[in-house]
Amino acid sequence: MSVNSQTNGMPVLPFTPFAGDSQRSVFGYTAPKLGVGDLPLFIKPLPAKIGPDEVAYLEKKGALTVPTGTLRSEMLRAYIEFVHPYMPLLELREFLMTIDQADGSLGKVSLILYQAVMFAGSAFIDMHYLRAAGYATRKEARKDFFQKTRILYDFDYESDRVSLVQALLLLTYYYETPDDQKDTWHWMGVATSVAHTIGLHRNPDKTNMDSKRTKLWKRIWWSTYMRDRLIALGMRRPTRIKSEDFDVPMLTLDDFEIAAIPDSVSCVPTDCRAARDVGLQRQLAIMCIEKARLCLCISHVLSKQYCVLNNNQGLQNDRTTMMLLPKKLDPETSEVKACDEELQNWVKDLAKEAKYSDDFTGDNSLDVNRALLHMVFFTTLSALHRPQVLPSSHGGPASVPAKTNVASDLLDVSRRNVRRAASAITSIAQRLDQTDLVKYLPTTGVTVLLPAIIIHLLDIKAPEDDTRRASLRGFCQCMAVMGKLRDLYAAADYSTAFLEAAIRKAGINIAPATSQISGANNTASSLGEKTSPVTSVEDLVNAGRRLDMQVLGNPAIAASQQLQRSTLTPPPDNGTTNLLMLEKTAANDNVTDEEVARRLETFLASTPPESDHDHDQIPAITIAEDAAPTAAPAEATPFNKWSLMDIPSNPFNNINHHQDNEMLYSSLPISHDFEDGEFDSLLNLDAVGEAFTFNDTMLEGVDWMETNAGPMDEAIKA
């Protein structure tokens, strides 16, 4: 944050109010509209270059309206607990003390930065407060605050470039439509450019800045770097920051503000532990440092395994954005192994405060950040090994055919790690679900869940019954979490729509529900009954439920489960994706995998925004029909017997998902290869292999509720 910044003589932008524009901020219903002279005294006044017409337009758009009272306090709490820990780009103590002093005697804050903080906090504030402020949905609130912040940027309100970088990084939390040119990646580019112009990429220790400002600049730079890497990992876009272009040292604990906010600061609720508990602040700072270290690994994985160029790209390509495509390196090369060892070293060197445990602390901010840190690790591990086990059908310029006589063991290792990553992500997601923390996940939750779900879906096509059962459990558990994320993020809606199309192509068949519930006495008859194809995510989840209920031997419970409204249906929100429309059009259109990737890539950024999409203009999604078989056994986390009802304690309690005693790149062969199919083009699931008949009565007598350590436990512990 920068206070008391001076304006410069920048030219006035030729913006004028639009005569027919009747839009106004929702806060017009809850607070008087503030003119330029009515801004709170702790807000830096508008620069003189913004003329009366521009001021009138800003007033009309609500950009000069700021939340106050309880709404402001709760938004600040949400920001402090769920945004600041992984993006510590503010001098938080100074920021809070400044805005708490209503007369402006302690300085003034940037209006664009203030609005950006409110925008970021609106993702996690309790919906009760947003409704009280006049917002019908969270998406409506987030869009309103985003527009306030963006219009201030468009009018060149802010001349202090440090404040501008801080606000722009928070703007990267928002994405509206798949075809919006100013998307997350755009704002990341603007933030990076501004950061370079003021030298944030250079070592501040070599300057004459005071210690306080040096620490702030380091935190802002590493926030920029981490954001850039996670966007690249989630959206598969090129990174904006090149590793050779900066020399800022790695963060240390000394770079963080670890001090309690005084009780006299009334703008923050007194029970906000992240603001006043020094021990908690220290743990969150340690996890931020570990995240920065992990982002260095992410950078190496993306640079070694992915590239922008592709043989199929050319003048006929109508895509407006670049994507990172797998290089498909020869497994014999040292690149994959070096990255794998680097990831293992990250695990080995983790501070004890950042090590994962299923014994959650009860502090939501700490538990969510720690869980998400490790889910991002396993997503990175999967991204490293996927190009080896799921060969690219595109054959990029760096593609090298595997040398089968030397690569077999190395490919086995990659297969093992892809499955291990899916299993670990599933287990962590299950624990978050059990503790009701899914609602605090950013959209990164969608980013890390989707690869795990698709690996489970591939393994449902495996020839072994045990593999299919375990994979179905993992799939169901992940979809239970994804269903809850659909209440929050349109990214989850789009991912589910993609999975709907993928499942229809997979050719999975199940026995009728009546025969599955009837039990052992009906085994012979059900084996002869005609099976039905799975055509939706809900069909597959219901199959998993019926299997669990069958083991319980309680038809009444199974029947009640059937009557439950599935969380996989669209949430009751007017802005929700119309999946029925998507499914209907998907049956008739034939879009390439590359087009599917284009439509989905922008929704998979590793960010915590509430995406607002124009759902009336959603394109149809289908999967191309050039297929090849795939089969693979899973190492999945069991799907709990109560599914979406009462979830009992995690059978993998206190499990160590990481290998502490051996390198990740160890050769433990696993049978059944993944065959041709392009995961990193969002998987043509025509390639998942031959269809199999999934008859639940064939699985009678299998203890799905087993909590003792078994093969799956050992596989994850290994």
Greatest mean pLDDT range, 21-25, 104-108, 221-225, 318-322: 221-225
Model confidence over 251-284: pLDDT tens digits?
999 999 999 999 999 999 999 999 999 999 999 9
Question: 2 vs 442, which has greater pLDDT?
Answer: 442
Are residues 96 and 269 in contact, defined by beta-carbon separation less than 8 angstroms?
Answer: no
Greatest mean pLDDT range, 278-287, 519-528, 620-629, 636-645: 278-287
d(C-alpha 213, C-alpha 204), whole Å: 9
**What is the DSSP secondary-structure string of 586-624?**
HTT----HHHHHHHHHTT--S--------GGGPPP----
Chain-centre distance for alpha carbon 317? 28
Beta strands 509-510 and 693-694, pairing class: parallel
Sorted by sequence, the CB contacts under 8 Å of residue 129 that are 6+ apart come out as: 70, 71, 74, 75
Helix (H) or strand (E) holding 510: strand 509-510
Cα dihedral value 181, 233, 295, 492, nearest 10: 90
* Residue 698: pLDDT over 90: no
* Residue 575: pLDDT over 60: no
For residue 19, the 8-state DSSP code is T
- Residue 115 CB burial class (10 angstroms; 0-12, 13-18, ≥19): buried
Instruction: Provide the pLDDT for residue 76.
Output: 98
Sorted by sequence, the CB contacts under 8 Å of residue 48 that are 6+ apart come out as: 7
Q: Where would I find the beta strands (DSSP E) of 291-334?
A: 306-307, 325-326
Name the pTM for this structure.
0.74
Rounded percentage of the chain residues whose pLDDT exceeds 90: 41
d(C-alpha 320, C-alpha 15), whole Å: 27
Question: 10 vs 73, which has greater pLDDT?
Answer: 73
Collapsing DSSP to helix, strand or coil, 645 comes out as: coil
Mean pLDDT is lowest, of 42-56, 98-112, 471-485, 665-679, for: 665-679
